[in-house]
Amino acid sequence: MSEKPAERLIYGFHAVLARLRHDPAGVLEIYLDLTRRDARARDLVHQARDSGVKLAQVEADRLGRLVGKAAKHQGVVARVKPVALTHSLDEVLESIEGPPLLVILDGVTDPHNLGAILRSADAFGAHAVIAPKDNAVGINATVEKVASGAADTVPYLMVTNLARTIEELKEHDIWVIAADMDGEQPLSGIDVRSGVAWVLGAEGAGIRRLVKQRCDQVARIPIGGTVESLNVSVSAALCLYETARQRGHASTRQ
C-alpha cells in the first residue's frame, strides 16, 4: 500500500492512541497485528470502535511492508490525514494569555530530537516550537511516535527567515535567549518569568553565528563529567523546566 498525497502513515501505540484521542476524524484506518491480544491492543480496539474508526487485524509482515521492516511499529500502523499546520506566528502570539514561552530550533534535522522536544514543550507548557523551512525536519511518522501525541497539541511553525522571526518576537517584548556552551550566565541565573523564546541548535554545528547575534542573551547549561555538550532535546527540556520552575508551575500554556 502506498500513501496518497492527502494521507500518511503513523505507527506505535503512543502515536496512534494519541491521534485517536485528539483527532479521531483524522484517523482513516488502523492496522493491528492479529497476534496482539494484550491490554494495549484491547484498549486500541475499544478506542477505535468508540471513535467510529475502521480497524483491520492483519499479519505482522503486512505492517512491515507498510512502514519498513526497520520501523518499530509495535504491531500497529494507522493511515491518517497529515497534521494540519494552520497556525501562523501571529495567530499563536495573539492567543497567548500570560507570558509567552517559545522554542526556536536552528538546524535540528533529527526526527527523534524534534519528537522529544515537542513532548517536553507539551509537558512544560510551551506555546509553539519554531524552525526554519530549510535545514529542519518536518512532522513525520518518527516525530509523531516519539512525541507521543505532542505533535497534535504543540504548534510547530516552519518560517522562511529565522533571524527575521526573532526580530518579530522582540517587537512583542519576548526576550530571546540562546542556550549555548559559551553563555555568559548559567541557566538558573537568568530571569525568565516574562515572555521568553529559547534558541537551541543541533549538536555539533550549534546555533549559527548570525542567529546567535540576534539573541538578547546567551545562557549556558552547567555540566560536569567528561561530555562536552548535551543532546539538544535534553537541553530544551532543561530550559523549559527552568522556565516553569521560575514561573511557579509545571505548565505555562493556557
Which cell is 160 given? 522562511
| 2 domain residue, yes or no | no
Classify 155 as helix, strand or coil.
coil
Range of the domain at 151: 89-247
Rounded Cα–Cα distance for residues 159 and 163 (Å): 10
**CATH number for the domain including 227?**
3.40.1280.10
**Domain count across the chain:** 2
DSSP letter for each residue of 158-202 = EES-HHHHHHHHHHTTPEEEEE-TT-SEEGGGS--SS-EEEEEEB
138 assigned ligand-binding residue = no
Q: Are 12 and 38 in contact (CB under 8 A)?
A: no
In-domain check, residue 36: yes
Retrieve residue 230's grid coordinates. 548535551
Any known ligand binding at 174?
A: no
Q: What is the CATH number of the domain that holds 65?
A: 3.30.1330.30
Annotation-wise, does 230 bind a ligand? yes
Query: pLDDT truncated to tens, each residue of the chain (254 aa)?
Result: 444 446 888 888 888 888 888 889 889 999 999 999 899 999 999 999 999 999 999 998 999 888 887 778 899 999 988 765 557 898 899 888 899 999 999 999 999 999 999 999 999 999 999 999 998 998 888 898 888 878 888 999 999 999 999 999 999 999 999 998 878 889 989 999 999 999 999 877 889 999 999 999 999 988 877 777 789 999 999 999 999 999 986 444 44
Domain boundary among 80, 98, 120: 80
**Does 131 share its domain with 197?**
yes
On whether the CB atoms of residues 197 and 176 are closer than 8 A, the answer is yes
Q: Is residue 235 part of a domain?
A: yes
Boundary of a domain, candidates 31, 60, 80: 80
This prediction's pTM:
0.74
Whole-angstrom Cα distance, residue 249 to residue 246? Answer: 8
